[in-house]
Structure 1
């Protein structure tokens, strides 16, 4: 048996947002508004969206801000990685010049080559970390955007009285299509 949770009324939503009507819903309060969507009466949510005069522009601004955040995070990461690679290249150049010395013993040359291999492996490891970091950033951004869109979809469709048909029987032999389940 499912427990029905009381949904927020228009008055409760306005009170929690600290505004007198939805026309005063600002960009700063839109995220709070969206976090309340799952607990909101669908009609209240629709009414709020209809009254919010710059709703589409605000959504675009929020997505644009997230895009800017992503670009900045990726740019900062790129600068850090490039700096690291520059240091690695400098070390490799120095080791390479040392390796050109003719008076080095076999053991000394072997040691220098081992150090060069180590620096290369560290650079490769940094590259792998960088790729994982980028995937993580894109993943989090995707979660935010998908959550945002999902909340909106919940208001505009999923919570507005639509129903999903249920199967009355678990029997694999029961292939009858019951049109009554589709009527909501």
Structure 2
């Protein structure tokens, strides 16, 4: 695709007077336009690179905090669920051990305990899948930030794009 967006047009599209006024939201807009901008636009961003780097780093920090909160919340919910299932299994175990429990009741309770053990296994699997997905998204996000910085520096990012595609396949 031919690069058709010059600096003035990019600034107008971003609704900013110059690249020093680049906010997080505007940086995301700029990233979506990078494949169509003229090299001088990348050069103008490079001239303001400290501000651009600050925006990228701030975005990465915010993302890290949000991921940390999501992982923490996931851990709390998982722990509460495991505690509840474990309590149910303990109750069933107590009932199985009672003398007044019939063999049929013991068999039914053993089946329920097996189902609860399967549920615990499923909870563990989902938790691990969630963590892997978050880490995969983090990898793609990091590669994206590196690609943005590299583009601003005038680096050919084709290799970075294929690495990002490969990381998305893992997710």
1:25 pairs, out of 22, 44, 50, with 22
- CA-based RMSD: 1.9
Asked if the contact 1:42/1:159 (under 8 Å) is kept, the reply is: no
- Structure 1: which 5+ residue stretches go unaligned? 161-184
> For 1:103-145, what per-residue CA distance to the aligned partner results, in whole angstroms no more than 9, with x for missing partners?
2222221211111111011110111011111111111122122
Q: Which residue of 2 aligns with 1:70?
A: 67
Q: Which runs of 4+ in 1 moved over 4 A?
A: none
Indicate the structure with greater helix content.
Answer: 2
SS at match of 2:100: coil
For the pair 1:94 / 2:91, whether they are aligned, the reply is yes
2:45 pairs, out of 42, 45, 48, with 48
Tell me which structure has the larger Cα radius of gyration.
1
* C-alpha distance in 1 between matches for 2:50 and 2:148: 19
TM-score, length-normalised on structure 2? 0.83
Q: Which residue of 1 aligns with 2:167?
A: none
Asked if the contact 1:99/1:112 (under 8 Å) is kept, the reply is: yes
1:58 pairs, out of 55, 59, 62, with 55
- Structure 2: which 5+ residue stretches go unaligned? 158-171
CA 1:145–1:16: 2 relative to 1, 3 Å: same
Asked if the contact 1:17/1:32 (under 8 Å) is kept, the reply is: yes
TM-score, length-normalised on structure 1? 0.77
Q: How does 1:30-179 map to 2 (within 5 A)?
A: 30-159=27-156
